[in-house]
A and B are shown apart, each in its own frame.
Chain A
Amino acid sequence: MSDDRDSSRLDGDGVLRQRPVYTESQVIMTTVKAVIPFVMTYGLYITFHGADTPGGGFQGGAIIASVFLMIAFAFGIESTRAWLSNTVVVGLGSAGVLAFAAIGFGPVVLGGNFLDYTAYYPVFGSVLGLKEYEFVKYGMEGVEILGIAFIVSGILMGLFFALAAGYSAEVEETVATSGDPRDGADSARLEEPND
């Protein structure tokens, strides 16, 4: 059933399938090259100033992710992913979750409740010279910038690259020939019996 789907551009319905062919467009490349520094600055501004003006981690993270989406549109999705390297994307998402959890569980370690920023004050108040309510402010900023903005930007970029990579049956065959037992119902090309 899937044999001729990868060799020709007509699928089972006889419909011409769209394939993401990268065509170089001078207009898009020039526009993106001119615009992305400003959009990146704007995204960082919205993230950092989310405490005093409208904004915050969600909006800033989405705008920063859109910078890399624009680069991918201008210069090709595969080459952008190779330049960005999977480590950066996965690392951003995971580091955000870990930072949020660390800032949240710190007070539990120090004897307070989860996400109770004022529990940092007895221990770090004299060391950092901050008043009690300022710990709340810096805890919030840390959660917003190091937590939410990282997570949202990393995961949105990761979702973009995952959806662009799609699903291809060659992955199934490569994994199956390496001896990894899987449900055989997925791939129509599987020759070897599963263990």
Chain B
Amino acid sequence: MRLGVLFSGGKDSTLALQYAKEKEEVVCLITLISKNKESYMFHTPNIDVTKLQAEALGLSQITKVTEGEKEKELLDLEDAMAQAAEKYLIEGVVTGAIESVYQAERVQRICYRLGLWCFNPLWKHDQKTLLEQLFEKKFNVIISGIFAYPLDEKWLGKQIDAKLIEKLVELQRQYGISPSGEGGEIETTVLDAPLFKKKIEILDYNIEAKGNSGVLNIKQARLIPK
């Protein structure tokens, strides 16, 4: 089955892509570039890096800019998915949803309207196990956004490894933070993954942070051999 992956460049959509590619034919990425940094639907930090990631994956990409207004952004998503169906003849869409019924049901409705299959291979999986899979499969994932107490700018740029996973699980115990950031507590950027033919090197970045909210903006990056 020919599939498109809703791709934000973060760990969940990249891991979902990995699952999908093991079972079906992934033919394109679909990326929404939201101007609203507080979008409930779409990941925003470093969304421009998805262009390099698509190149590293050797996959075509459909991008669509959205103002990010609640519910109207869904029309933009539907338009991007319809474009993917027309241009790449996809029969289904894959998402990296884990817990969010809000996101899942909206994508399910769009898929139904467009006559597409909808796949959510990470759905309801144990979040710690998913983080461990990233580490075991040698993904290089950095934290590129923090949006909850007690996270602070020291977390930005850190790589997800066994030690960091333990810290995130501890924060779940103490503060109820979702370890995989399902409540928007953290955002991530994938610099390397098993399916990447090249890896991403960050050449320049800046950090904008205040209290428990901040982002690491990748200003310049390139692909280098693995």
A and B from one assembly? Answer: no
Residues on A facing B (Cβ under 8 Å) = none
